[in-house]
Amino acid sequence: MASFQITGGRKLKGELIPQGAKNEALQILCAVLLTKEPVTIHNIPNIRDVNQLIDLLGDMGVWVTRIGEGSYRFQASDVNLDYLESDTYKRKAAALRGSVMLLGPMLARFKKGRIPRPGGDKIGRRRLDTHFLGFEKLGAQFNYDANDGGYYQVDASNLRGTYMLLDEASVTGTANVLMAAVMAEGTTTIYNAACEPYLQQLSKMLNSMGAKITGVGSNLLTVEGVSELTGTEHTMLPDMIEIGSFIGMAAMTQSEITIKNCQIPQLGIIPEQFRRLGIQMEFRGDDIFIPAQERYQIDTFLDGGMMTVADAPWPGFTPDLLSIVLVTAVQAQGTLLIHQKMFESRLFFVDKLIDMGAQIILCDPHRATVVGLNRQMPLKGIRMSSPDIRAGVALLIAAMSATGTSIIDNIEQIDRGYQHIDTRLNAIGAEIIRL
């Protein structure tokens, strides 16, 4: 198990280029199974979850060719379905939450699929009902056999388009059902679909492969099934979660940072939510400039009530950034209520921040009140462990702003979602040692 040793109190200055979007990558990479023709993808992040999925695709028989920094060519012309029965497949797929999105393309093209119960972050229950109810609406037959090692087995010999109302606007569920529907016979209407930029990018890629998807960017998708898809070339968006993390990091460490090539129109309300914390920023073309700020003050509601930041399906505020907002508020002036509605265990890292000196009240598994220290008292370095990807980076931000030295264990969690984060931050003034 690797660790970070962080010397706090270092002010950063310079430019950061965000990696490709992790959550988009997991969808886009699964979609290469939909065609036997070559698919070229650019701006793929070099992170653990994505690399594991690329490795899994290669084991399935997909030809994988690295053609440049962050660029790969995939060709799924000779997929080995027998590999799905192997212990190696079970082990690798079970270790990766995003592996569940292999099912949609497998059902569309090969009329059957098999996946072990996937793992991922320990952030509460993350049910898969939306995926399988959607497949069943399309005519697939689903079976889960605990005696078979916990495999989900799906037969889709006769997929037909239909109307469906998803039980929740699940990002991965929408992506999975959408990929299954593009080659189903007839027309599929997906209502209450997720509409995150990741889904918009997936739909754009699928349409460039010959799919017929309309309503992209809304919660009502219409899919006219086609018999086959062709190859394509696709460039991924920058990671909006990393961009938000860098904004919070700049504020907490009183640093002057420019985040390059952000594709700002795709960020939705993310910049505005950080502005509500009092963080100054300038849009310079497609770059975001954050000046060094000694202090920043949290807004209140118009009636003077305490500001609340809550997560919601897009275009609401993404739950992946609530941990970053929470830690950024620790040194703000004012009080903030964080309401995590979508996962019940994602706030369970705040005890580490309290040990560092933060003033936080964990009201229940979904809500935490942060009383900003307003730089009157610095956080102090401690030893802690990263419970999940986003909490891990929140703890890293806290450690960078603290006095003394901190050690963060289990940084494999951070590596799952952030590309060479220590190297990139050290290049602009941080002091992070990988142990």
Strand partners, 63: 75
Q: Which of 49, 87, 121, 422 is catalytic?
A: 121
- For β-strands 405-409 and 13-16, DSSP reports them as unpaired
Q: Please say whether the beta carbons of 417 and 20 come within 8 A.
A: no
**Which phi and psi angles does 221 have, rounded to 5°?**
-105, 135
SS3 133: helix
Type of residue numbered 208: S
Q: Please say whether the beta carbons of 314 and 197 come within 8 A.
A: yes
Rounded-to-integer distance, Cα 397 and Cα 325, Å: 11
Q: Please say whether the beta carbons of 383 and 409 come within 8 A.
A: yes
Q: Nearest CA to 181 among 223, 126, 146, 232?
A: 223
Query: Is 127 marked within a binding site?
Result: no
- For β-strands 383-385 and 405-409, DSSP reports them as parallel
Rounded-to-integer distance, Cα 381 and Cα 402, Å: 6
SS3 274: helix
Query: Is 36 marked within a binding site?
Result: no
Rounded-to-integer distance, Cα 392 and Cα 303, Å: 35
Rounded-to-integer distance, Cα 338 and Cα 327, Å: 10
Residue 288, classified by CB atoms within 10 Å of its CB into exposed (0-12), middle (13-18) or buried (19+), is buried
Query: Is 90 marked within a binding site?
Result: no
Dihedral, CA atoms, 288, 289, 294, 297, nearest 10 degrees? -30
Tell me, yes or no, if 55 is annotated catalytic: no
Rounded-to-integer distance, Cα 320 and Cα 33, Å: 28
Query: Is 384 marked within a binding site?
Result: no
Token code pair at residue 234: 């696709």
Token code pair at residue 290: 């954050």
Token code pair at residue 105: 């393309």
Q: Nearest CA to 368 among 390, 348, 393?
A: 348
Rounded-to-integer distance, Cα 207 and Cα 367, Å: 40
Rounded-to-integer distance, Cα 416 and Cα 46, Å: 9
Query: Is 342 marked within a binding site?
Result: yes
Q: 137-148 burial, b if ≥16 CB within 10 A, otherwise e?
A: bbbbebeeeeee
Binding-site residues, please? Answer: 22-23, 97, 320, 342
Residues assigned a catalytic role? 121
Binding residues for phosphoenolpyruvate: 22-23
